Amino acid sequence: GNPPWEKLMIMRNRWWCLRFPGLLGLGVKERDTTVKELENLHPDLLTQLEEEETEYEIVRQVISSGPYPKIGTGHIDLYKAFAWRNWQVLRSGGRLGLVLPRAALAAAGTTEWRKTIFESGSFDNVCFLVNTGGWVFDQIHQQFSVSLVVISKGSGRNVEFCGPFHSLTDFNTGRDELTVVPIEEFSQWSDTLTF
């Protein structure tokens, strides 16, 4: 699966910059002043922004009240809820593969998810990719890191990972050269089970 990676928040200045691209070239103080002026000049857009903020808040509240332990640590991203849900519906002995942002394996908001997997399963294969030159996804930033994650539910003994790879050639050459670490050792590397 490749869940949505959308953050459930609106950055007001970025929202205005998408509608008035010239704002990006302004200094912070001048941009803030100009945004205030735009809010007064375009009450229809301000209303649209406030409606979108309300919609995001409703979705954040729904996800925060769901069966996703500590998902509210940091910003709520949709990928976090999808990662939890995929794990929850996976049968014992089952395996799943997900394309996730690198943060899923390092951020505070997914610590409980990682701990749950280590307690009841394993990360069978984790491959880190850096989107250099857009070789992974042409729609996302070229410095963005992606994780290809294979997880199984049931007993696991090792954590296997490879990368980061910066090109398809590097990936094809090194993807089978896995670092294999016993779960007991890996769990001692950090309190948050960060890769």
How far is it, in rounded angstroms, from Cα 100 to Cα 114?
A: 13
Least confident of 8-17, 19-28, 89-98, 126-135: 8-17
Q: What is the pTM of this model?
A: 0.76
Provide the pLDDT for residue 73. Answer: 67
Mean pLDDT of 39-47: 93
Contact 83, 9 (CB under 8 A): no
- Least confident range of 15-24, 36-45, 86-95, 124-133: 15-24
57-77: pLDDT as tens digits:
888 788 887 888 877 766 778
